[in-house]
Structure 1
């Protein structure tokens, strides 16, 4: 069991009860589920690995030379 200690101020019994309730509720809540809708880093690797296309005259020839 943990101990709660007030180090500054003079809270009322109602304020302490509210604080204890919030802390107990937070401790009892299950951890949030991981976001499975987000693409993995491997799936989005190509966005960071290549440079964007810049269409224009002569770009087809320049695309062969990094």
Structure 2
């Protein structure tokens, strides 16, 4: 975590502890939410792991369908 600097005023140790507790809990909550989204399958970790890439599009009728049907989709 980046250092925190007090710019104005003279906070008491209790006030500083309260602010740090809030900041740390928000950071932990954000990290937990990101981890939960990753575990829930919000998307593949990498485009290489995306199974949808393996699906091929159905050739559509047209002039060059015979030629383009062999191309990687």
TM-score, length-scaled by structure 2: 0.40
Structure with more relative contact order (C-alpha pairs < 8 Å, separation 6 or more): 2
Larger Rg: 1
TM-score, length-scaled by structure 1: 0.44
